[in-house]
Chain A
Amino acid sequence: MTLGTASGFVGPVIGKCGFDTCGIDFSGRTSLGKTTAVALGVSAWTSPLLGSGGLLRSMKTTENAIELSARQSNHTILGLDELGHVDGKMVGRTIYLLSGGVSKTRMSPQLTMRPIFKWATFVLLSSEKSLAQKIIGDGGEWTGGMAVRFPDVDCSDVDATVPKESLAKIAGIYHHFGHIGVPYITALRADGFDREPGTGELRSRILTAAEKIAGDGTDSARRRAALPFALILVCGGLAQHYGLLPATARIREAVSWGWRRYSSSVEAEALDPETQALENLRRWIAEHWDVAIKPTNGFYVDARDADEDDEDATTHRPQVLTYRNSRDAFGWYDDEAIYIPTARLTEAIGAVLSRNTFVEVLEHHKLLQRRGPDRASIRNVPKVCKVDVYALKREAFRDD
């Protein structure tokens, strides 16, 4: 709940320091306090009651309504609950819509362009499934871009037992809300954080914190994913400094916990698309081996072989060749290579990289058994047909 509470202080800094909209998703089974964590952040600015008109909104709505919510939450906070009620593909589109920071272009009845909305805000999401599970489970595509904008914090290990008297006090946020704006902004202004060079100094402080959270030697994607945590750390620290949050709040520990939970999640794997693409390809080959990926010398079998015990059948019946299986072929293999049609490669790697980029990965790791004279693909599958394929080293993808 510390992360949720400190999140309430991030929005104005996002606005003044020129960061894009980002946020955090709290995931895990029901009754772990995820919605309460989101409500705590929202209560800093508006009513945290769902349906009250405040900035805690349900995802059971349209994309146009989410645009309006994003605009209303400009430079403050937006809480989105009940992700389970909407299709994962819509969740994916919403992530890009929110982080894009600009509304769709629309035409007026007079055939002129309507003015567009812009926003920059901090978003807290809560869901029972992680964002990746939700989006992939509903047939959507999980990308590294989503993983860095809204890192997922799995709350499954949280102890959900909260004393009754504490729960009663926590409910106070539903009767006392919307009060931090004036004192917080006034304090930020007094410190010069509403104009240069203050905003520059604050921005650089946050970026440095993100680098530290991500760890030494990490790539830019991981540093970007650490940004929402860095914003919470720095802005929560400012709120403590201004006396708006108690000095005893363990914000640093909460941020470390959140980052650890994120780093060990499936979501974080999307930050390394090269590895993910190779894993996807290995799995795709294993799933289709000997079914849709067929041996180059094994398309046809002699029907007489089906009756091996029947000597009469094998010696006297004429040879009748039949397909070993009737599945469409997705690829072929022989002793040395696995042949994947060029047009199938994107599907085989789960579309996490472009085809050209992945071919560079294959060449870099020397995973091609052979290549054409002026291209990575070859023009035919031996003994099968003339199809453009990539000839992958069999030993790199199969143990048999």
Chain B
Amino acid sequence: MLNYIGIEPVPDIRFPPGSTEEGTLEGWREAVDAVLSVDNCPH
């Protein structure tokens, strides 16, 4: 997937299977929503 984005492919360096994509965008958004709703954690 990282190569697809076409910003600058890095075909010479591979990532281990399963380390670049898992689950869903919606699942990620839910986690991020929970993060951003925590008060006093600006970092």
Does A137 have its Cβ within 8 Å of any Cβ on chain B?
no
Task: Determine the chain B residues whose CB is within 8 A of the CB of A357 once the complex forms.
Answer: none
Given contacts A15-B8, A16-B7, contact A178 B43 (CB under 8 A): no
Q: Is B8 a contact of A176 with CB atoms below 8 Å?
A: no
Q: Is A169 a contact of B20 with CB atoms below 8 Å?
A: no
Question: Total number of A-B contacts with CB less than 8 angstroms?
Answer: 159
Count class of interface residues, chain B: 35 or more
Q: Is B42 a contact of A3 with CB atoms below 8 Å?
A: yes
- Give the interface segment out of A82-90, A244-252, A334-342, A366-374: A244-252
Q: Is A34 a contact of B43 with CB atoms below 8 Å?
A: yes
- Assembled-state Cα–Cα distance A1/B6 (Å): 28
Q: Name the prevailing secondary structure of the B interface residues.
A: loop
Which residues from 109 to 149 on chain A have a C-beta closer than 8 Å to any C-beta of chain B? none
- Give the interface segment out of A47-55, A268-276, A311-319, A343-351: A47-55
Between-chain CB contacts (< 8 Å), 29 pairs: A5-B35, A32-B43, A37-B43, A43-B28, A45-B2, A47-B18, A47-B19, A47-B22, A52-B16, A52-B18, A53-B18, A72-B13, A74-B7, A76-B2, A158-B43, A162-B41, A163-B38, A171-B31, A176-B25, A176-B28, A177-B28, A178-B1, A180-B25, A180-B28, A246-B33, A246-B36, A254-B42, A258-B42, A258-B43
Task: Determine the chain B residues whose CB is within 8 A of the CB of A53 once the complex forms.
Answer: 15-16, 18-19
Q: Is B19 a contact of A54 with CB atoms below 8 Å?
A: yes
Of the candidates A46, A182, A183, A194, the one whose C-beta lies within 8 Å of that of B19 is: A46
Of the candidates B7, B24, B39, the one whose C-beta lies within 8 Å of that of A15 is: B7
Of the candidates A163, A179, A257, the one whose C-beta lies within 8 Å of that of B28 is: A179
Q: Is B31 a contact of A172 with CB atoms below 8 Å?
A: yes
Does A295 have its Cβ within 8 Å of any Cβ on chain B?
no
- Assembled-state Cα–Cα distance A92/B31 (Å): 34
Of the candidates A5, A33, A46, the one whose C-beta lies within 8 Å of that of B32 is: A5
Task: Determine the chain B residues whose CB is within 8 A of the CB of A170 once the complex forms.
Answer: 31, 34-35
